[in-house]
Chains A and B, each alone.
Chain A
Amino acid sequence: MTIDGQSVTVPPGTLIVEAAKNVGVEIPVFCYHHKLDPVGACRLCLVDIAPGPPRPQTACTTPVAPNMVIKTQSAMAVQARAEILEFELVNHPLDCPVCDKGGECPLQDFTFRHGYPTSRIDGPRLHFKKPIPLSANIALDRERCVLCYRCTRYYDEIAWEQELTTGQRGVQSFITSQFDQPLTSIFSGNIIDLCPVGALTSRVWRFESRPWDMTQTGSVCSKCAVGCSVTLWQRRGQLVRVTSRENDDIDEGWICDRGRFDYTDVNDPKRLRVPVVKGAGSTWNTAIDALAAGIKGKGPKLGISLPQDLTNEEAFLFRRLLDGPLKGAKVKMHGRTALPEPDPNQLLIKEIDDARVIVVVASDTEKDVPVVNLRIKKAVSKRGAQLIVVHPDGVDLDRNPHTVHVRNAAGSAAAEVEKLASHELLKSPGGPVAILFGDGHGSEDAADLAAACAELASKVGGKVMPLYRATNERGALDAGVAGWDKLDGVQALLSWGPPPTAGIPSSVKFLATWDHLQRPDHSRAAVVLPATTFAEQQGSYTNLEGRVQFLRPPIPVAEPLKESWEVLTELAVALGLELGYTGIFAVQRDAAQTLPGLADLAEPPSPTPVPTPVLIGPAHP
């Protein structure tokens, strides 16, 4: 087929908009989104197709055919698109200066590239009350809305939620939440990224900056074990925004609201920046010496609480300490599951797409691994997979009427999984089976369950995926530091990250904390070290499928903050262990050689370059 004189070969069934991307021809779209089903509502993608009727047709709903000749620049197509853009602008308010989308707005860009050069719109515009808070995090501006229905379709198709809908009809149509109740879905933030205009904007980022003020860095989310790709936006040394970054292996461009909105602690003015010894500011040397003195030689009387977003590098250095001066210390990692180490040939997230039957055991995926939950939904609703859930309570996957929900008594999931082998759906699944299992937040015997799932997988021809929860649980398991010890009775405690969930044991006589925020417990601490956050430190996480991904900090480490590898190395020296690392790359190289699970640390890939927008010459009629 030919697009604007360039011939292009694409697989059958490809839509014209997608084919045009291959040859760098821009066909403007509002309603079309490559992850949503096409609807042809905005009519902006009109092109001239031959052979065909002598009128413009939508490129977003028309699949290619052999020898098709498509003209995006014929007088008819150019005029049709300009007219649609003019229609979009008839009621669009002149909000660009105060609109958070201004500067990265497809409506602005398309109007410049495809619209009429001068405005012919006069007369009053339509008005709505604005802005309307859709939830604590999202603001809705109905005047700016072009009614592309991306948000409602996303809610319907991807998130399986019924919270967002359209009210009224005709020119009075507006987007509204169901019964005007605030949105509660954990996936709500994605509609901000989807919105092609400034109708849905983040209230967390609201008016923080204009898009051109910020620099962006492609990094990894640190909130759970899925490890979605995110873009971190920095302005004046502050992390001002987090958006999704499409990675088809993991997240397909969706992130959950935890990853998107839960970042303001990085910019907290009350953050710890200086080491504190006995309530007074001090130098790093003094603080580390005081810490070393408090924890040295304590053996099993020393307790250490690890944060869930410990990087692989930190885990490796910590392992060196555990093998040496801190031998015997009790370690407890935050938020981890009781799941054992995974099968090396485990299921990958993208393989869920092709599964014919998906079995989810002892996990409410929406809360534990949100974006994996979206994958499951995609496999079910778009690819027709069957779904079996084993869980004592109702879960969000039950929204599909065909879900087979086995309600087990807490603790009996392993027994139920064993019975599943003879289940009707699994007798001849007709393709791969995906078995995902959690630990029921401690209610199940994780080892039994893992064994039962592995056995089921071998019987029905499938793969298993243990659903870890802590961000870098896999990396900590690989490094051998993912402790599960009880901290009761320890005399000295190093609380790294937030304080232990069970609270600080009363037996503790020496408390040291290493955290980025001030917390009430710190008043008891003899030593408080300031920590860096995911937005400042370098390092890597291993996600629940075993993929090692690197953090790309958008914000420099501001003195007197120190990177964690440096702190750990200095602590090792103070404890009498000479590590001799001069930089994080040395740590990574050493870790890759020492621990087979961290072999991927050897060669950190170069950062993903920031994509440059496709600009095609003016198409004014």
Chain B
Amino acid sequence: MPDEKDQESVIDDVTALAKGLKTTLGEFFSPVVTTMYPEEKSPRAERYRGRHYLRRYDNGLERCIGCELCAAACPVGCILVIAAENTEEKQVSPGERYAKTYEINMLRCIFCGYCEDACPVQAIVLGPEYEMSDVSREKFIFTKEKLLEPLPPDVEARLKSKEQK
């Protein structure tokens, strides 16, 4: 009874083909999921941990007090903080102490967010940005200037008018 056997296998093959094509055809009519990165960007989760920012208070003062707890918490040791004392002439952050130097080596960073956890003043936060490719290693040492949030517009305007005077 070889014929019967052959017949069965043909039916099986056709069924399998139809099954496969069903998926294909189904996908054909379903919406497209591919995003055309980099022209198009997919949304990120609310608590996505990307590039770091150093925040400011509304009055323009830096939040960071240079306590180095982020550096202490960092499992890969990619943060360097050197603190200095605020003076009356140069008040960088509230209180006595501010970070003179704040550097993160982004090549080492594993974006674990421990620094954000450790920060007692919520100065360092991980933002949504993840595109940091560049052409030289040096550029991955993010300095304080790079990390700091821009000044609030009103404070900036005030400082500018002061400079012009």
Contact = CB atoms under 8 A, between A and B. Distances in A.
Task: Verify whether A and B have any Cβ pair under 8 Å.
Answer: yes
A206 interface: yes
A98 B95 CA distance: 9
A207 B83 contact: yes
B72 A97 contact: no
B65 A210 contact: no
- For chain A, the bracket of interface size reads 10 to 19
Nearest to B95: A98
B72 A212 contact: yes
Given A97-B67, A97-B120, A98-B67, A210 B97 contact: no
A67 B67 CA distance: 49
A210 B96 CA distance: 15
Q: How large is the interface on B (under 10, 10 to 19, 20 to 34, 35 or more residues)?
A: 10 to 19
A131 B72 CA distance: 25
A213 B68 contact: yes
B85 A206 contact: yes
Given A206-B85, A209-B82, 13 more contacts: A97-B65, A97-B67, A97-B69, A98-B65, A207-B66, A207-B83, A207-B84, A207-B96, A208-B83, A209-B68, A210-B67, A212-B72, A213-B71
A207 B85 contact: yes
Interface of B: 65-69, 71-72, 82-85, 95-97, 120-121
Contacts of A131: 96
A98 B93 CA distance: 12
B122 to A, nearest CB: 12
A508 to B, nearest CB: 43
Contacts of B95: 98
Interface string A183-218: 000000000000000000000001111101100000
Q: Which of B66, B72, B83, B84 gathers the greatest number of chain A CB atoms within 10 Å?
A: B83
A97 B121 CA distance: 9
9 contacts: A97-B67, A98-B97, A207-B66, A207-B84, A207-B97, A208-B83, A210-B68, A212-B72, A213-B71
A98 B72 contact: no
A97 B68 CA distance: 8
Contacts of B69: 97
A213 B68 CA distance: 9
A212 B74 CA distance: 13
Contacts of A206: 85
A209 B72 CA distance: 12
Contacts of B67: 97-98, 102, 210
Contacts of B120: 97
A75 to B, nearest CB: 34
Contacts of B65: 97-98
The 4 tightest CB contacts between A and B, nearest first, are A97-B67, A207-B83, A98-B97, A97-B120
